[in-house]
Amino acid sequence: MFNQFFYALIFIFGLIIGSFLNCVIYRLETSKSFLKGRSFCPHCNHKLALFDLIPVFSFICLKGKCRYCAKKISLQYPLVEIVTGFLFLLTAIYFGIDSFLMFFLFLLLPFLIVIFVYDFKHYIIPDRVVYPAIGLTLFYQLLSNKSLDIILNPLFSAFSAASFFIIIILFSKGRWMGWGDVKMGFLMGLLLGSPNIILALVLSVFSGALVGVLLIILEKKTLKSQVPFGPFLIFGTFIAMFWGVEVINWYSEIFLFGL
């Protein structure tokens, strides 16, 4: 009973964090500080009251429209809140409510969510988000791994993933990847280590290529169109982080059985 109550609190806490992340994303777009100033409607600039800011609930009650100007509220807001809530809940369930890793991921997940949404909207992985995430992850690895041999794994994975993207940039002369993907690859390797980083990269490339082909078939994109790769890197990171061991073991069993 206690665990269920605690999980419910974590989900609600995730919703609240998701609401804050929407503010961060918007103010990153407008180069405004997200540490001061009240929230306001981006259409009419009217300052929002407390009952306008209740995660998900306010969106439903207001029927997806601003109370003051009746302009539509982007679906981004409730989606980010719900996804953040579920990711926090999944983290607590999967890694344990008393683990150091859970608390670290509670700090890191907001950075990954902001990168996902911001790159999806603007085709940019902001340095102001990815660099602190790298610093936080490095600090965690140094703090949690006492042996030099253990810390070398994520460091080697980070430089290997970054090098992989650098090679693609050089080969394509910057047409296929950006330097933000290099930084994101470094973060992924530092977080996941080997062999999970390999799974994350394979999933990212495969899902990105699949979505790209579908968009071309649906005539939403052309071969020359840009597709933000950051969201696929985050997707691969989440799968590898939560289910990497299971997926790798499942694939290994199939491969060995096939042989």
- Residue 174 vs residue 136, higher pLDDT: 136
- The pLDDT, as a whole number, for residue 35 is 64
- The mean pLDDT of 173-183, rounded to a whole number, is 87
Number of neighbours of residue 43 by Cβ within 10 angstroms: 14
Residue 54 Rama label (left phi>0; alpha psi -120 to 50; beta): beta
73: number of CA atoms within 13 Å, CB side?
A: 24
- The pLDDT, as a whole number, for residue 174 is 77
Number of neighbours of residue 183 by Cβ within 10 angstroms: 21
Residue 140: pLDDT over 90: yes
Structural domain boundaries in the chain: 1-96, 99-259
Residue 97: pLDDT over 80: no
Q: Hey, which residues does 40 pair with through a beta bridge? A: 47
For 47-109, the three-class secondary structure string (H helix, E strand, C coil) is: ECCHHHCCCCHHHHHCCCECCCCCCECCCHHHHHHHHHHHHHHHHHHHHCCCCHHHHHHHHHH
- The pLDDT, as a whole number, for residue 118 is 95
Residue with tokens 């703090």: 143
- The pLDDT, as a whole number, for residue 156 is 95
CA dihedral sign of residues 3, 113, 192, 195: positive
- The pLDDT, as a whole number, for residue 145 is 75
Give the integer Cα–Cα distance in Å for 26 and 182.
24
pLDDT, tens only, 183-231: 999 999 999 999 999 999 999 999 998 998 898 888 788 767 778 899 9
Task: Work out the pLDDT band at 51, boundaries 50, 70, 90.
Answer: confident
